[in-house]
């Protein structure tokens, strides 16, 4: 199954127009961030970026790799801009994401934890265009 997903992602990456996004992490999927498999499994990280773009101020970016770290921890306080090569994926667009200031067992799944920089004034987001990060070996 992972092989099929990788083939689809690579196929989309090669046929889709790639672009670069830069922005600060507003929030992240706490479940994906906290549950990283250390052996053999592919891990994901999903974040919401605040971009300076005219079209979409907030976007969802999905990262996947076999390592346990997809994004350097320095970006998770929401003050340092993150730049990433991406391609657009309409399949993971999201309407009315739930943003929270703290994690609770009742609201853990399907929510995004706001970073420290955005906890004082949580943004209201009606919809998120989704992008998939293009993995590059270091």
3-class DSSP assignment, residue 9: helix
CA distances from 102 to 14, 37, 72, 80 (A): 38, 24, 21, 21
Whether 69 and 45 have beta carbons less than 8 Å apart is answered as no
Nearest to residue 97, comparing CAs of 61, 136, 127, 123?
Answer: 127
Taking only the tens place, the pLDDT of each residue in 92-135 is: 999 989 898 887 766 666 789 999 999 887 678 899 999 999 87
**Does residue 84 register a pLDDT over 70?**
yes
pTM of whole model > 0.85? no
Non-local CB neighbours of 50 within 8 Å, separated by 6+ positions: 23, 24, 26, 57, 58, 118, 123
Domain parsing of the chain, residue ranges = 2-133
Tens-digit pLDDT profile for residues 22-72: 999 999 998 888 777 676 778 889 999 999 876 779 999 999 888 778 899
3-state helix, strand, coil in the chain (%, to 5): 25, 40, 40
């Amino acid at each position: 199954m992972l092989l099929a997903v990788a083939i689809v992602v690579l196929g989309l990456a090669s046929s889709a127009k790639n672009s670069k996004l830069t922005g600060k992490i507003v929030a992240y999927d706490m479940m994906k961030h906290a549950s990283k498999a250390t052996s053999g499994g592919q891990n994901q990280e999903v974040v919401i970026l605040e971009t300076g773009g005219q079209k979409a101020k907030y976007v969802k970016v999905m990262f996947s790799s076999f390592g346990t770290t997809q994004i350097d921890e320095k970006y998770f306080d929401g003050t340092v801009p993150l730049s990433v090569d991406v391609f657009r994926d309409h399949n993971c667009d999201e309407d009315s994401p739930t943003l929270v200031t703290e994690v609770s067992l009742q609201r853990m799944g399907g929510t995004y934890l706001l970073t420290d920089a955005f906890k004082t004034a949580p943004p209201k987001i009606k919809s998120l265009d989704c992008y998939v990060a293009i993995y590059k070996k270091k």
